[in-house]
Chains A and B, each alone.
Chain A
Amino acid sequence: MNKLLDRSQSCLIASALAIALLGGCATTGAADPRDPIEPVNRAVFEFNDTVDRAVLKPVARGYKAVLPEPVRTGISNFFSNLRDPWIGLNQLLQGKVEEGVTDFMRFVVNTTFGLAGIFDVASEGGMEKHDEDFGQTLGVWGLDTGPYLVLPFLGPSSVRDGVGRAADSVAYLPWQGPRLMDAGDEIALRNSLTATDVVQTRAGLLDATNVLEEAALDRYAFVRDAYFQRRRNQVYDGRPPAEPYEDIDYEEAPPAAPAKPDAGKAPPAAPAPAQPSGTSQDAR
């Protein structure tokens, strides 16, 4: 009993030390309140990035170089189709019956007429593809995202969406399907299907990550801020309630000059009281 306690205590101390050490080299001033374990997250982000650069990205590039676009689209459609039943179930859990029924019909139509999902005939027939997961369902049920979490290998997430991903993985057909089918080489099939899915997904994101590399000053913060906005938008199915950002009167005179009267334009948020002119720009 005592020994156990000692062990868990030393574990705690060791991890606290690790966090402090990581924090020491990764601290960037005041933290984002949504990201209380930023040093740990940054470390995992770096790790994922290293894995991506060393393995996943080169493989995805090769995949894209070798396979012609129609083949890649077929493979992408195949995996996309395997996600539709779970997407449909999440729609139902969110109370969206019509969308949910559409997703199940997409699965039936594409699996049969679309030759195991290789052709997305449902989209051509006007049944729109949706994007739902259990994290979004939890969001619709009123759960807040909770703190930001970068998952090893899986990337940006949050406490809520991490729970969501655990549920999603139970319903992940390329992994679960072979087991249920009771095929001969189920483990080999399961692994190769999942690996192909990972590579084809990464290949589809190559363009986006190239843009990200160029756009971001700090990729970690950029991805994090985009993640929270994106998830909020997804939970509200693209129609989130307006979240007015503080509008800055860009024509307002800089410090030490007399303020220009606002030309009939009332910004939604009133400007804060003027800073004392003595404030240095590097004031913390």
Chain B
Amino acid sequence: MRFVFQFLLAIGLLPAVQAQTVAPDELVKSVTDEVIEIIKKDPDIQAGNPRKAAQLIQEKVLPHFNFTRMTALAMGPNWRKATPEQRQMLVEEFKTLLVRTYSTALTNYRNQTIEYKPLRMKPEDTEVTVNALVRQPGAESVTIDYRMAKAEDGWKVYDVVVGGVSLVTTYRETFNTEVRNAGIEGLIKSLSEKNRQLAGNA
């Protein structure tokens, strides 16, 4: 009886253990490949249906992001001034905005090929950057760097740097200005207004 219990426990733990052992570059590669495969087979997404792309992101991509850290980085020192409720709302609104933006970007996907540079990483590292290169015919290739940190349930992305432009850093200035002008409540309001407006366009 005890053996059975232990066995069940071990099976239950298995996915968690596996998630932890997937190397960050392998994780990025497998998720990207999977998403690209789905887009290639889905004419709706290619035709620019952001709702369907958003669903794909929710399922496949979101679990590998640490949105709390992302939001905190974009907020900078203002994060420390936010109450738990405000933090939760900021994370939710920022996540909605990024998913929407990313969905639009995905519907633009054409025949780019993605290469991954070999990852230099020590086993004890808890923070790494996975470097990818998007090649497109007739144009200079674009670098995409995924900044990732190790968590209990696997590696999580907390910033994406496209062609040297960091998502987090680019939002930081705007967030800062909003907070300076209208406070944290003001920033939450602008974000939710923006999201409502985008949802209305869909």
Q: Which residues of A contact B (CB under 8 A)?
A: 28-30, 32, 73, 76-77, 80, 120, 123, 128-131, 204, 207, 210-211, 214-218, 221-222, 224-226, 229-230, 232-234, 238, 240, 245-252, 254-255, 265, 271-272, 274-275, 279-282, 284
**Complex: how many Å from CA A216 to CA B183?**
18
Contact partners of B98 in chain A: CB under 8 A? 215
* Chain B 49-89: CB-based contact to A (< 8 A → 1; otherwise 0): 00000000000000000001101110111111111100100
B46 contacts partner chain A, Cβ-Cβ < 8 Å: no
Contact partners of A248 in chain B: CB under 8 A? 69, 72-73, 75-77, 79-80
Q: Do B104 and A281 have beta carbons less than 8 Å apart?
A: no
Contact partners of A131 in chain B: CB under 8 A? 140
In angstroms, how far is the closest chain B Cβ from the Cβ of A13? 30
Contact partners of B138 in chain A: CB under 8 A? 73, 76-77, 80, 120, 123, 129
Choose from A76, A211, A218, A281 the contact partner of B108 (Cβ within 8 Å).
A211
Q: Which residues of B contact A (CB under 8 A)?
A: 68-69, 71-73, 75-84, 87, 97-98, 100-101, 104-105, 108, 126, 137-141, 143, 163-166, 168-175, 177-186, 190-191, 194, 198
| Known interface pairs A230-B164, A250-B79, A281-B184; 6 further A-B residue pairs with C-beta atoms within 8 A, sorted by A's residue number | A123-B138, A214-B97, A214-B100, A221-B174, A233-B165, A245-B169
Closest 6 CB pairs of A and B: A233-B164, A250-B72, A282-B183, A207-B108, A248-B72, A215-B101
14 A–B contacts, CB within 8 A, in A order: A29-B181, A76-B138, A214-B104, A215-B97, A216-B174, A225-B170, A230-B163, A240-B164, A248-B75, A251-B68, A254-B80, A254-B84, A279-B81, A281-B183
Choose from A218, A246, A251, A274 the contact partner of B177 (Cβ within 8 Å).
A218
- Chain B residue nearest in CB terms to A35: B173
**Complex: how many Å from CA A252 to CA B72?**
10
Choose from A73, A216, A284 the contact partner of B137 (Cβ within 8 Å).
A73
Contact partners of B139 in chain A: CB under 8 A? 76, 80, 129, 204
Choose from A32, A214, A274, A281 the contact partner of B173 (Cβ within 8 Å).
A32
- Compute the total of residue contacts between A and B using a CB distance below 8 Å: 135
Q: Do B164 and A123 have beta carbons less than 8 Å apart?
A: no
In angstroms, how far is the closest chain B Cβ from the Cβ of A268? 9
In angstroms, how far is the closest chain B Cβ from the Cβ of A32? 7
In angstroms, how far is the closest chain B Cβ from the Cβ of A175? 21
In angstroms, how far is the closest chain B Cβ from the Cβ of A254? 5
- Chain B residue nearest in CB terms to A77: B138
Choose from B75, B80, B87, B140 the contact partner of A274 (Cβ within 8 Å).
B80
**Complex: how many Å from CA A255 to CA B86?**
12
Q: Do B181 and A28 have beta carbons less than 8 Å apart?
A: yes
**Complex: how many Å from CA A8 to CA B171?**
41
Contact partners of B105 in chain A: CB under 8 A? 207, 211
**Complex: how many Å from CA A111 to CA B132?**
31
- Chain B residue nearest in CB terms to A30: B180
- Chain A residue nearest in CB terms to B201: A214
